[in-house]
Amino acid sequence: MQTNPTYSSLVAVGDSFTEGMSDLLPDGSYRGWADLLAGRMAARTPGFRYANLAVRGKLIGQIVEEQVDVAAAMNADVITLVGGLNDTLRPKCDMGRVRGLLEEAVEKLAPTCRQLVLMRSPGRQGPVLERFRPRMEELFVCVEELAERHGAVVVDLYGAASLSDPRMWDVDRLHLTAEGHRRVAEAVWQRLGYDPEDTEWRTPMPATVPPGWITRRVTDARFARQHLLPWIGRRLTGRSSGDGLPAKRPELLPYEGPAA
């Protein structure tokens, strides 16, 4: 891949991971790895344009229906596509359908940009990952095959030990912290061919003394009450955290913001 390429535009497609949850800004909005990446790219290229179509909670079918054609019409230099993981976390998941929809998305997006970026998403250590690991890995095999077939690049976050550390994840155990998003931005930055700004993004955080039994139980109870039970409730009623929410940055406009 070209070293330190010049890209003039970026469109991000996906769900909460790409929207930027839980990298919270003082005004209550989310930043996230895609915004950080856009800031870096804009610092190198005057007039750089950026759109982020991601909406939390979206399944791959919704991403294809609501975001893919819009992104394709923008003819951006770089398009990032991360989707399907929400599907794998559903009790009933048709992986054949997920693979087919992901393939449809790639086939539509790849011809419209200079570089399509796909990802093997990160996974937090714990019982949830172990339960759904087979589905996730099936999804990632599909990602690799599609990338090879369509000239996309794959950012391997799943294989990065640093991002599996529970300390990189917010209290909801589903979304990365600000530091996690920073490391993802660095990973994508390097995969696009830019000189590294952090060569150690894969390096795990230093070990610390784990919390005691009582602290863990209190934390688990708080997590169940504030995050797990509402998540289960949405699944049972067919609702999504993103229902009614607009795209984060729906138009491909000049990026104005601090570079990361």
- The rounded Cα 228 to chain-centroid distance in angstroms is 20
Dist. CA 206–CA 204, nearest whole Å? 6
Query: For 167-212, how does the pLDDT look when each residue is reduced to its tens digit (9 = 90+)?
Result: 898 867 688 999 999 999 999 999 999 999 999 999 987 766 566 6
Would you call 180 helix, strand, or coil by DSSP?
helix
pLDDT value of position 174: 85
Query: Do 41 and 48 form a contact (C-beta atoms < 8 A)?
Result: yes
Q: Residues 6 or more apart from 80 whose CB is under 8 A from it?
A: 10, 11, 12, 13, 14, 18, 34, 116, 117, 118, 119, 188
Global pTM value: 0.86
Asked whether the CA dihedral 63, 66, 68, 70 is positive or negative, the reply is negative
Q: What angle do CA 248, 72, 89 make, to 5 degrees?
A: 60
- Low-confidence residues in the chain, pLDDT < 50: 227, 258-260
Structure-token match 């929809």, residue found:
101
* The predicted structure's pLDDT at residue 216: 52
- At 235 the pLDDT is 54
Q: CA–CA distance from 25 to each of 6, 28, 53, 168, 210 (Å)? A: 29, 5, 19, 17, 28
pLDDT at 230: 55
CB 89 within 8 A of CB 123: no
Catalogue the E-assigned strands of the chain. 9-14, 49-52, 78-82, 115-120, 153-156, 249-254
Q: State residue 227's pLDDT score.
A: 46
CA nearest neighbour of 6 among 35, 41, 51, 47: 41
Distance CA 256, CA 201 (A): 26
Q: Give the pLDDT confidence score for residue 259 in this predicted structure.
A: 42
Structure confidence at residue 236 (pLDDT) = 54
